[in-house]
Amino acid sequence: MAGDDGRYLLVEEHTPEGVRLNNPAGHLDPGESPEQGCAREALEETAYPFTPTHLVGIYLARFQRARVDARPEDVTYLRFAYCGTVGALDPTRKLDKGIIRAVWMTPDEIRNTQPLHRSPLVWQSVQDHIDGRRFDMSLVNTHPSVWSLQST
């Protein structure tokens, strides 16, 4: 999420690998489209309302998380990155568990903190936004069954 001043809204969060920087991100709740999940997660993690207007890209990354008592855990991230409009901060809103704070950063600050990123997708999606990548929201098609599941 980019502000009018060219800064991007990231979150500082606790992860199994320690404190990391990430784009606001998360999962889909049942009955939710990717853009609805994006707006909800952004609000929950930053306390800023967000309205997606364009898809920046769809990204896939994989890594192995070391574990002390077992084989490494294989982790795959699938990210739908959106850009859009950011509303006013709700200072009364509590941030999601694990989120330390929301932070506005310049592209240079983000590039220079890559060792602290949750995944390589953080910088890649910012770079793509800077480069002007924008796709129409209709590129991601959410079938109506997402909102009204029918029994078979």
Would 138 be classed as within a structural domain? no
DSSP state, residue 131: T
Would 79 be classed as within a structural domain? yes
Would 149 be classed as within a structural domain? no
Residue 95 is part of which domain span? 8-132
Q: What is the CATH number of the domain that holds 128?
A: 3.90.79.10
User: How much is the mean pLDDT over the chain?
Assistant: 93
By CB atoms closer than 10 A (0-12, 13-18, 19+), residue 134 is middle
Q: Is 0.85 topped by the overall pTM?
A: yes
Contact 93, 122 (CB under 8 A): no
pLDDT number for residue 68: 79
pLDDT in tens, 57-104: 999 998 888 877 888 888 888 999 999 999 999 999 999 999 999 999
Would 152 be classed as within a structural domain? no
Would 45 be classed as within a structural domain? yes
Would 94 be classed as within a structural domain? yes
Six-digit token pair at 36? 């609805």
Would 19 be classed as within a structural domain? yes
Contact 104, 9 (CB under 8 A): yes
pLDDT in tens, 4-63: 689 999 999 999 889 999 999 999 999 999 999 999 999 999 999 999 999 999 999 988
pLDDT number for residue 22: 97
Closest CA to 55 of 36, 41, 35: 35
Give how many domains the chain has, as a whole number.
1
